Amino acid sequence: MSEDSKELARAGSFGMEVHFHDNHCIKSSFVKVLTGMIFDIAGKLEAKGGMIGHVKLIAQTDAGFVKMSVVDIRLGVETVDELKGDMSKKGSIKLMAVVLGLEDGTVEETVEEALTHLGGCMEYHLAGHDCDHDH
Amino acid sequence: MMIICLISGFLGSGKTTLMIDLGKRLGKKGKRVAIIVNEVGEVGVDGALIDAYGLNSVELTEGCICCSLSGSLQNTLRAVANDYKADIIFIEPTGIALPSKINGIIRTSMVEHESKLGICVVDAFRAPRIYQEAELFFRRQIEDVDLVAVNKMELVSPEQLAEVEELVGRLNPKATVLKMSAKEDRGVEAIEVRLVDRMGGGA
């Protein structure tokens, strides 16, 4: 028996951090975009034959944070909304997915494809990139 | 003296929600709470959430503390115990960790503690599917704990809840089984009481 629990579970995972700026969405639209993105990721991972462990994200801004997770697409997106007042123009989003029965690469590809949802609200870049923006 | 509380359970069962709730409750009672949280992936969402609620946490990512990061857990546990002087250290491993392995790592870390409470959080809604598709983890996560918290009771019928309780009781007849809803703050107090008792009563 393998000593590595991830291998033992046949789990694929991928996590990423995105920095965003020039957000022009109000709070409700911002939350809607994130909800659409995380549900899209979960749905596609299940469609590819995986069993979702969890897909979760936290978006942090000067105006607070919102945390979302999907553990089963039948239950939809669970949201903890601690965003206060007006939306901030910049912030970060940490996103993590763990799925049983899929490879890391498949999870990564699915998550990265879904980032296009963010384009409706903001400019975004992967953390660690080189740019001139003030993050 | 400090106690250690290991909160294990399968992916998405509600470990972090329960731990944040317990951490806030114990903090209000004047207890010093420290948290070691582990994510299987490269990015820590739970650590960011715990920090956002003002709790003290150390995050270990990119592996599981029951296997690939076992050395990191020992070092972190020693550092937190020495530097923070906590009344309680919560350890939240990944959802695919095996509690028996972590118990061994805690034992060999030689960190002095009054007692340890092992809790497994079970998602009542998904338990039948997880048992079917990931039986090894479901079974072993339940076998090696003192208390099983059957969470998300608000999502299932009384009959479904009873079936999950029966399954859990069969897998670990020695464990206390509690029904709860971390989201709706139902049943959490019963766990808080047990932790406070182990810490030697109220503030």
**CATH number, domain at B139?**
3.40.50.300
Question: Is residue A83 within 8 Å of residue A54, measured between CB atoms?
Answer: no
Whether residue B138 is contained in a domain is answered as yes
**3-state percent breakdown (helix, strand, coil) of chain B, nearest 5:** 45, 20, 35
- Using alpha carbons, list the distances in angstroms from residue B169 to A33, B31, B163, B174, B179: 42, 32, 10, 8, 12
Q: Is the pLDDT of residue A73 over 60?
A: yes
Burial class (CB in 10 A: 0-12, 13-18, 19+), B176: middle
Residue corresponding to tokens 């697409």: A73
Q: How far is B114 from chain A (nearest CA, A)?
A: 29
Of B10, B67, B136, the CB nearest to A4: B67
Report if residue B110 sits inside a domain: yes
* Model confidence pLDDT, tens digit, residues B121-154: 999 999 999 999 989 889 999 998 999 999 999 9
- Pairwise pLDDT comparison (B1 vs A83), residue with the higher score: A83
CB-closest option in A17, A69, A98 to B40? A98
Look at residue B188 and tell me whether its pLDDT is greater than 90.
yes
Nearest CA in chain B to A7: B96
Please indicate if any CB of chain B lies within 8 Å of the CB of A113.
Answer: no
For chain A, give every domain's residue range.
7-126
pTM of the model: 0.92
ipTM for the assembly = 0.87
CATH number of A7-126: 3.30.300
Residue to test with chain A: of B43, B130, B160, most A Cβ within 10 A:
B43
Q: Determine the structural domain holding residue B144 and report its residue range.
A: 3-198
A124 touches B: beta carbon within 8 Å: no
Question: What tens digit of pLDDT does each residue of B56-112 get?
Answer: 888 888 777 777 777 888 889 999 988 888 999 999 999 988 898 899 999 888 888
- B19, B20, B96: best mutation site toward chain A, by most A Cβ within 10 Å? B96
Q: pLDDT-derived band of residue A2, with 50, 70 and 90 as boundaries? A: very low
Q: Residue B58 in contact with residue B37, Cβ under 8 Å?
A: yes
pLDDT digits (tens, 9 = 90+) for A19-69: 999 888 888 899 999 999 999 999 999 999 999 999 999 999 988 999 999
Average pLDDT value over all residues in chain B: 91
On whether the CB atoms of residues B183 and B154 are closer than 8 A, the answer is yes
For residue B126, give the chain A residue with the closest CA.
A72
Would you say residue B203 lies in a domain? Answer: no
Phi, psi for B141 (deg, rounded to 5): -70, -30
> What residues of chain B lie within 8 A of the CB of A91, using their CB?
none
Strand, helix or coil for residue B189: helix
A54, B42 in Cβ contact below 8 A? no
Question: Total structural domains in chain B?
Answer: 1
Domain annotation covers residue B36: yes
- Asked if A60's CB is within 8 angstroms of B52's CB, the reply is yes
